[in-house]
């Protein structure tokens, strides 16, 4: 009799969830992942089926490139946009294509951490962001301390993580810190990609022991691992062994040895089982394999083929499918996002504080920029030294103001590397549900304001008093505020760019390009009335902040001053020129709108650009899964057509939800 299993969006299972059962039971059935490159499709996961249960720790092993990270990403709903997926991933019997944003914690291979914070600060801020505000401070500190201790980081608790200018933690310590951050809140479902990479064998043993204890506490832990020692391997309950995206073995870790022996590849007495498995299935380097009696030299692809077939026809494969069936019949609780229990204000406050501390310690964030601003301001001040009220001063003042508004703000690009680092940390924390997008935008905005104000004040003071622009505190105050608002807008623009571009170089190019265009249509290089319509004048010159900044600053400086007319043979050719004439007739700017109106438009733009930043993050978060779900649906239908031609039973539930059960039938001999 074929074992027929229907899998679906929750309606199929018969068990009633217990309200107190928050365990995470993950099942995946006939999982295929394909990527398209150079016109051809490559399957990087080929029909994987398995499950992970609470109380157990599962290792995903395989040679480099065998698909370990891809399997973890697929299970966690984080597959790259370029890859397509078919098959089912069910959490507690329900279809859950996206486990991001707090339902599952994921420790990725890269350790994206804030370089200037110490271990203690990193874990404490994380606790403050995620643990309930009701938990007293002392209790939070105790949780932080015990987590740091569990990961063996007590010795370096006051060491900064480290960045380009700060020597900090070793690679292994960073790895352990990344794990500490995710186990802090004891997540129900924990994925770890290479948690032991960079660790010595003792550290690897302690880290995996901690993960096992976490699993014993009712958590579900899945970790990909390269080359565990025998001691570490013994800590794993279950094993998924992959080679070239195919399943070589799934089942109890300790039974894998018997399976290899039964398939004709017994583990030699003095070799660690994990070493033996990996040597047998590593197709990258063809090798001699010490086989018991079958072959003395066998090419690895052949070994892999034998093992894959042996597994498909084995009792282990059958047992896995039966267990999946049982899991699906005892439907568990719907796990909601469990990322953070702290409220919005707590999150915003903590993020503002953390970001402020980082900005004040990272010399590349603002301090280096401040130095460059001071140097440039001195250059500007010397070039426009006491610019005066001559006829030529009109051009001089306009040039000085345009440079301040254009190039000085353009220099905000210098902070881009730090923005990119910030965004990496944000993406890691956000995907693990540590806080919301709005809290991040608020935190990032508030923490940057004091530094931006300082930069504006110092630069303005130097330029203003060296060039001796329009005297009077109100004029100087306007100049400072206008520059402050401009750099804040550019900062928002660059953060928005950092949130969408894939890398640093693209970000610099995109950010510089946008600013270059806005500068061009600001009204300095071409007078406003001469800027060609429709694109350049409407909408671009109005969308950019430079136009309002330039006009406001011109009005601030020229209005109320009088300039000498130009001199021919020692005699002025006409009467003195009032500033209003300069603004209206020479620079073609209407003075009906006062300088403060320009300022308030600019001020409003800070919110508009921060909103764009917020929307960019949201779009990036939602667009990927939307595209994936569309692609997955199309590919599932495509695959169904292929499968329908094969001798298998196809179960169609409804128009949009299609499942098939070929692998299950095969295993039962159908």
Which residues contribute to the site for ligand ATP (CB under 6 A)? 35, 37, 44, 62, 64-70, 80, 82-83, 226
Q: In whole angstroms, what is the distance from residue 534 CA to residue 516 CA?
A: 18
Least distance in Å: CB of 109 to ligand ATP?
7
Please tell me the distance from the alpha carbon of residue 455 to that of residue 453, in angstroms, as a whole number: 5
By beta-carbon proximity to ligand ATP, the closer residue of 179 and 483 is: 179
Q: Which residue has the tokens 């733009």?
A: 605
Coil, helix or strand for 47? strand
Q: Which of 566, 440, 556 minimizes the C-alpha distance to 495? A: 440
**In whole angstroms, how close is the CB of 227 to ligand ATP at the nearest point?**
10
Q: Considering the complex, what minimum distance in angstroms separates the CB of residue 199 from ligand ATP?
A: 15
Could you tell me if 137 and 173 are in contact, meaning their C-beta atoms sit under 8 angstroms apart?
A: no
Q: Tell me the closest approach of the beta carbon of residue 229 to ligand ATP, in angstroms.
A: 17
Query: DSSP class of residue 166?
Result: B
Q: Contact 162/115 with Cβ under 8 angstroms?
A: yes
Residue 520, C-beta contacts closer than 8 angstroms, at least 6 positions apart: 526, 536
135 burial type by CB count under 10 A (0-12 exposed, 13-18 middle, 19+ buried): middle
Nearer to ligand ATP by C-beta: 82 or 656? 82
The secondary structure element, H or E, covering residue 318 is helix 315-329
- We find the least distance from the C-beta atom of residue 30 to ligand ATP, in angstroms, to be 18
CA angle 191, 306, 669 (to 5 degrees): 85
Task: Give the nearest distance from C-beta 194 to ligand ATP in angstroms.
Answer: 7
Q: Which of 318, 256, 280, 303 is nearest to 5 (CA)?
A: 318
539 preceded by cis ω (within 30°)? yes
Q: How far is the CB of 76 from ligand ATP (least distance, A)?
A: 13
Report the alpha-carbon distance of residue 364 to residue 587 in Å, rounded: 38
Q: Which is nearer to ligand ATP, 83 or 442 (CB)?
A: 83
Residues 130 and 184 sit within 8 Å (Cβ to Cβ):
yes
Whichever of 193 and 237 has its CB closer to ligand ATP, that residue is 193
Min separation Cβ 41 and ligand ATP, Å: 11
- Taking the complex as a whole, how short is the minimal distance between the CB of residue 45 and ligand ATP, in angstroms? 8
Using the minimum distance from each CB to ligand ATP, give the nearer residue, 84 or 556: 84
Bridge partners, 36 (sequence order): 41
Nearer to ligand ATP, 246 or 397 (CB): 246
Closer by beta carbon to ligand ATP, 64 or else 656? 64
CB of 631 to ligand ATP, least distance (A): 13
Nearer to ligand ATP, 194 or 557 (CB): 194
The DSSP secondary structure of 28-41, one letter per residue, reads: EEEEEEEEEETTEE
Contact by Cβ (8 Å): 576, 561:
no
Nearest-approach distance from CB 80 to ligand ATP, in angstroms: 4
Residue closer to ligand ATP, measured from CB, 226 or 323:
226
Residue 315's Cβ-side half-sphere holds a number of Cα atoms within 13 Å equal to 6
- Residue placing its CB nearer to ligand ATP in the complex, 34 or 333: 34
Enumerate the β-bridge partners of residue 89: 28
- 625 vs 85: CA distance, rounded Å: 12
Tokens for 517? 């265009």
Residue the block writes with tokens 């899964």:
625
Measured from the CB atom, the residue of 80 and 294 that comes closer to ligand ATP is 80
Nearer to ligand ATP, 38 or 592 (CB): 38
Q: Give the nearer residue to ligand ATP in terms of CB position, either 68 or 470.
A: 68
Two tokens at 271?
């070799």
Give least dist CB 637 to ligand ATP, A: 22
Contacts of 273 (CB under 8 A, 6+ apart): 230, 233, 256, 257, 260, 267
- Residue 83 or 123: the one with the smaller Cβ distance to ligand ATP is 83
Mapped to the 3 state alphabet, what secondary structure does 242-253 carry?
A: EECCEEEEEEEH
Beta strands (DSSP E) in 159-219 are 189-193
In angstroms, give the least distance from the CB of 543 to ligand ATP: 35
CB of 393 to ligand ATP, least distance (A): 60
Going by C-alpha positions, the residue among 186, 233, 181, 171 that lies closest to residue 205 is 233
If phi > 0 it is left, if psi is from -120 to 50 it is alpha, else beta; for residue 480 that is: alpha
């Amino acid at each position: 009799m074929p074992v027929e299993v229907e899998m679906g969006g929750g309606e199929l299972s018969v068990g009633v969830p217990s309200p107190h059962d928050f365990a995470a039971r993950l099942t995946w059935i006939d999982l295929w992942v394909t990527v398209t490159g150079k016109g051809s499709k490559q399957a990087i996961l080929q029909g994987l089926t398995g499950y992970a249960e609470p109380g157990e720790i599962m290792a995903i092993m395989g040679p480099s490139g065998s698909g370990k990270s891809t399997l973890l990403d697929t299970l966690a709903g984080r597959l790259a946009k370029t890859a397509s997926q078919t098959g089912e991933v069910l959490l507690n019997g329900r279809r859950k294509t996206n486990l991001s944003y707090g339902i599952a914690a994921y420790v990725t291979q890269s350790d994206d951490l804030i370089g200037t914070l110490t271990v203690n600060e990193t874990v404490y801020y994380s606790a403050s962001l995620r643990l309930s505000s009701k938990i007293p401070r002392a209790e939070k500190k105790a949780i932080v301390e015990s987590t740091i201790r569990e990961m063996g980081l007590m010795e370096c608790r006051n060491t900064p993580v480290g960045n380009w200018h700060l020597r900090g933690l070793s690679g292994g310590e960073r790895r352990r810190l990344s794990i500490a951050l995710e186990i802090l809140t004891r997540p129900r479902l924990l994925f770890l990609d290479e948690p032991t990479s960079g660790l010595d064998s003792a550290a690897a043993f302690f880290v995996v022991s901690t993960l096992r204890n976490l699993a014993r506490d009712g958590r579900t832990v899945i970790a990909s691992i390269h080359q565990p020692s025998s001691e570490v391997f013994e800590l794993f309950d279950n094993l998924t062994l992959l080679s070239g995206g195919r399943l070589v073995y799934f089942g109890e870790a300790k039974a894998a040895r018997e399976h290899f022996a039964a398939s004709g590849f017994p583990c030699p007495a003095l070799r660690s089982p994990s070493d033996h498995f990996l040597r047998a299935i590593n197709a990258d380097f063809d090798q001699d394999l010490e086989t018991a009696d079958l072959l003395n030299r066998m090419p690895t692809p052949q070994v892999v083929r034998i093992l894959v077939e042996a597994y498909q026809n084995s009792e282990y494969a059958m047992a896995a499918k039966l267990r999946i069936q049982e899991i699906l019949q005892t439907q568990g609780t719907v796990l909601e996002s469990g990322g953070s229990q702290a409220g919005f204000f707590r999150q915003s406050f903590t993020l503002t504080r953390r970001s402020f501390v980082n900005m004040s310690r990272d010399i590349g964030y603002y301090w280096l920029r401040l130095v460059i601003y001071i140097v440039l301001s001195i250059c500007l001040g010397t070039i426009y030294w006491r610019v005066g009220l001559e006829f030529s001063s009109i051009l001089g003042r306009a040039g000085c103001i345009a440079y301040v508004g254009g190039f000085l703000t353009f220099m905000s690009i210098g902070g881009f590397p730090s923005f990119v680092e910030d965004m990496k940390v944000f993406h890691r924390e956000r995907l693990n549900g540590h806080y919301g997008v709005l809290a991040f935008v608020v935190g990032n905005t508030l923490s940057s304001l004091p530094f931006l104000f300082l930069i504006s004040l110092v630069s303005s003071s130097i330029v203003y008093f060296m060039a001796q622009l329009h005297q009077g505190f109100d004029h100087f105050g306007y100049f400072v505020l206008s520059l402050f608002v401009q750099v804040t807008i550019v900062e928002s623009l660059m953060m928005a760019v950092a949130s969408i571009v894939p890398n640093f170089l693209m970000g610099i190019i995109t950010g510089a390009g946008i600013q270059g265009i806005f500068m061009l249509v600001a009204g300095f290089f071409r007078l406003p009335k001469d800027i060609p319509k429709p694109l350049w004048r409407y909408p671009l010159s109005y969308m950019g902040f430079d136009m309002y900044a330039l006009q406001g600053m011109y009005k601030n400086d020229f209005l109320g001053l009088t300039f000498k007319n130009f001199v021919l043979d020692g005699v002025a050719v006409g009467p003195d020129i009032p500033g209003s004439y300069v603004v209206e007739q020479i620079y073609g700017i209407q003075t009906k709108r006062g300088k403060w109106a320009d300022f308030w438009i600019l001020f409003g733009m800070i919110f508009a650009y921060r909103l764009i930043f917020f929307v960019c993050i949201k779009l990036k978060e939602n667009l990927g899964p939307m595209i994936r779900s569309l692609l997955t649906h199309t590919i599932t239908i495509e695959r169904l057509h292929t499968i329908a031609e094969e001798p298998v039973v196809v179960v169609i539930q409804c128009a949009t939800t299609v499942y098939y059960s070929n692998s299950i039938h095969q295993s039962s001999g159908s």
